[in-house]
Amino acid sequence: MSRRALTLLVSGFLVLALGIGGAVVDVPYVVLSPGPTENTLGDIDKQPVIKITGRETYPTTGALRLVTVAYQGGPTSQIDLLTALRGWIDPTVAVVPQETIFAPDRSQKEVEEENTIEMTNSQDDATAAALNELKIPYEAVISVASTVKGKPAEGKIQKGDRIVAVDGEPVTRTDEVSKAVRAREPGDPVTFTITRGGEKLDVTVPTVAAGGEPIVGVNMQPGYEFPFDVDINVGDVGGPSAGLMFSLGIVDKLTEGQLTGGKQIAGTGTIRPDGKVGPIGGIPQKMVGARNAGATIFLTPAGNCAEALRAVPDGLRLVKAETLHDAKLALEALASGKGEVPSCSG
């Protein structure tokens, strides 16, 4: 056998060995890629993404698309080396250390469950923000998420209870409850007025010291009682980053006219009940997903503008969104061709 043929044979074996090794060797990385988009004004499996009952709604056109990031990998389904290498080569995806997505002390299932809870909470916050924007009143409530095992509230206060007063003083925010409890001395009792199954009850709970402060062992979460029903259906999508697009979809359905102007608009951002838009992760992949879906305008949280400018796909216009009100005004200006449209570039 000639030296050249031997060299080619050995090289071929090495390439084959590396290929086989790369296909079977797992690596602790996660591949992030553009995920599917959903039109919040449209349907999923013949069901509306946003369904409003008990209030007049108006027809809409165009699209207000929420965007997502798909991932491969995780503690229970690690990717192989070849998948990671392909990701490093592909400019539309990102390969990140596994621990940036899944903390070492949390399982993949726990992260996914947390994302589901965040999505549910973001839907409520989005509805509250939309109603605030439209000056539609609603009631803020405090729900009991859980009680801490071994603490005084266990067995006395239950998950799902609503706290309406502390020692006779009405409360509507979780921080008001916490402040009232911390005003006691450890060992002092606190009387909670709660509603449970439509019945109002007074429940007295002693405090105990924890970290030098009095507590009763109640985990709370803010909630709302809206004057009509807003149901949001997004399938398996998790996390809080669709809040802005949910709010805009609700606003569009509850007001006359076409907020989109018939355009294909995508965007992202968390939302607070006061309408403040927060930054999110995976902005490069979300912009690619938006452009692949035909969007020409991308509503971008102000906190993501710098990163977005470095990776924006051709044909996608970045519109800066600091609040729901700002985003609504920007869309109205785009639809009419009049008014200022805030940009990530200035």
What is the rounded CA–CA span in Å between residue 226 and residue 137? 8
- The residues that are catalytic are 241, 286
Q: Which of 342, 334, 232, 229 shows the shortest CA–CA distance to 277?
A: 342
DSSP structural state of residue 236: T
What is the rounded CA–CA span in Å between residue 82 and residue 27? 10
> Roughly how many angstroms between the first and final C-alpha of the chain, as a whole number?
68
CB 70 within 8 A of CB 95: no
What is the rounded CA–CA span in Å between residue 297 and residue 306? 17
CB 234 within 8 A of CB 44: yes
**DSSP structure string for 253-319:** HHSSS-TTTT-EEEE--EE-TT-BEE--S-HHHHHHHHHHTT--EEEEEGGGHHHHHHHPPTT-EEE
> Which class for 75: exposed (0-12), middle (13-18), buried (19 or more C-beta within 10 A)?
middle
What is the rounded CA–CA span in Å between residue 302 and residue 282? 15
